Amino acid sequence: MSKRKKVLFITWDGPNVNYLETLFYPIFNQLQKEYGYEFHIIQFIWGDRDIIDQRRVFFDTAGIKYIPIITNRKFAIISLLKAKFFDSIFFKNYIKEKKIEVIIPRATTALGIFEGIIQKTNVDLVYDADGFSQDERVDFSGLSKNSLRYKLYRRIEKEGFIKGKSIICRSLKAKEIIMERAGDGFDKNKVFIVRNGTFKSTENQIKSSKTGCNLVYSGSIGPQYRMDEVIQIFEYVKDYIPNASLTLLTPQVEVAKELIKKESPQFLNVITVKSVFPDLILSELKNYHIGISLRKATFSMQAVAPLKVGEYLAAGLSVIFSPGIGDMDILMKNKPFAFCFDGFNESKEEEILNWVNKQLKEDYSEAIQEMAIEYFSLEETAKVYHQALQYG
């Protein structure tokens, strides 16, 4: 029987994210139940105190200790320095008191705060590369690759690759990039690929009979998610299928409504926008036919695993996805229930309509379920995490 470990997960986040509840809670809970781990979470965060308090209650009820460290977005550098140098005493004492054996920093910021503490406390490091956060800043926030900040993040990242007993990433391409950046002599076997599946295959009962043409987008709202094209797809489908509908499921309800009002005011009272509790997402998604998951294809996006694609498949939905995002091109290739959307042109519009009509006529539920179970089940995700935690 494998050794059971006490694990501390570290992350640095803004306020408009709920992935701790939607992604990591199911995984950590499964690891605790199936393999006997004990999880603790430290989250550096700014934002609504009520949301933070709700999150604390949520995790305490689930038997996972959650510690929020309040930071200041306007003075992020000062918050980082405070966390690294002044809060370190608390962190070291906590690790000692709770007998933490493994630390999992998510991305470079969390690793940068804890790299010295990891060395001094002699705990194991499992580095969650979680895409390449510094490269995301280059792709979407204007960070220069020649800047001191980028070079510092890359140094921290390489420390994680070299010193980590194991590394978690989200795609085959991410693993290749990690191996290249780590250099000669790197142990490629210590890199584990997880695809962010969070549903239990035993509970995955897909409805095969649906009426209408219901499209859904689930997730955050922002330019990198190509929301204008999400709406354009809906507009085109609705021209040919008048009863077609589009629902945006997002915690950023007001942001989504403002976007529609600005970009497509004719749909302000046509597109439904609502927020759903994380534990109700799967049952909500089963009300739709087609899930849309678009992202701008950039260097950093090769290293992500779109959480929503797994959720769509788990709910039995056909999927419209973007090329160049994680392993989607490989996984979705030649799947009749998947449509690769790389932009609009006349032929593409006709292709979309033909494909949508086919999804409404054919029953692909069995094939969708098989793929969901193989690549996106919670059991598979927990198994890979367990392998990473036991490696070395």
Per-residue pLDDT of the chain (392 residues; tens, 9 = 90+): 455 689 999 998 876 677 888 899 999 999 999 999 999 999 998 877 888 888 899 999 989 999 998 887 666 677 777 877 777 888 999 999 999 999 999 999 999 999 889 988 989 999 999 889 999 999 998 999 999 999 999 999 999 999 999 999 999 999 999 999 999 999 999 999 999 888 876 655 555 456 789 999 999 898 889 999 999 999 999 999 999 999 999 989 999 999 999 989 999 999 999 999 877 888 899 999 999 999 999 999 999 998 899 999 999 999 999 999 999 999 999 999 999 998 877 677 889 999 999 999 999 999 999 999 999 999 999 999 999 999 97
Residue (of 356, 292, 350, 355) closest to 319 by Cα position: 292
**Whether the Cβ atoms of residue 319 and residue 332 lie closer than 8 Å to each other:** yes
**Cβ-count burial of 153 within 10 angstroms (0-12 exposed, 13-18 middle, 19+ buried)?**
buried
**What integer pLDDT is reported at residue 13 of this predicted model?**
81
Closest Cα partner for 244 from 107, 128, 359, 351? 359
Q: What Å distances lie between residue 373 and 99, 199, 207, 217, 275, CA to CA?
A: 35, 9, 16, 22, 26
Residue 47 region by backbone torsions, left for phi larger than 0, else alpha for psi between -120 and 50, else beta: left
Q: Are strands 124-128 and 102-105 parallel, antiparallel or unpaired?
A: parallel
Any idea which fold 6-197+377-390 has? Rossmann fold (3.40.50)
Token output for 367: 């094939």
For the chain, the structural domain boundaries read 6-197+377-390, 201-376
**201-376 matches 6-197+377-390 in CATH topology:** yes
pLDDT for the residue 1? 41
Encoding tokens for residue 25?
């809670």
Sign of CA dihedral 177, 181, 182, 184: positive
- Measured CA to CA, the distance from residue 237 to residue 218 in angstroms comes to 18
- What is the CATH topology of the domain spanning 201-376? Rossmann fold (3.40.50)
Q: Which residue has the tokens 């989607």?
A: 328
Cβ pair 375, 310 in contact under 8 A = yes
How confident is the model at residue 210, as a pLDDT? Answer: 63
Percentages helix, strand, coil for the chain (3-state, rounded to 5) are: 55, 15, 30
Q: First CA to last CA across the chain, in angstroms?
A: 15
Q: Give SS3 for 186.
A: coil
CB of 169 within 8 A of CB of 303?
A: yes
210 DSSP 8-state letter: -
In 3D space, the residue among 179, 176, 244, 178 whose CA is nearest the CA of residue 216 turns out to be 244
Q: Return phi, psi of residue 48, to 5°.
A: -65, 120
Q: What's the confidence (pLDDT) of residue 223?
A: 82
Count of helices and strands (H, E) across the chain: 17, 13
In this structure, how many other beta carbons lie within 10 angstroms of the beta carbon of residue 333?
9
368 contacts 205 by C-beta, under 8 angstroms: no
Tokens of 320: 């419209």
Whether the CB-CB separation of 326 and 309 falls below 8 Å is answered with: no
**59 is written with which tokens?**
């995790």
> What is the predicted pLDDT for the residue at 4?
65
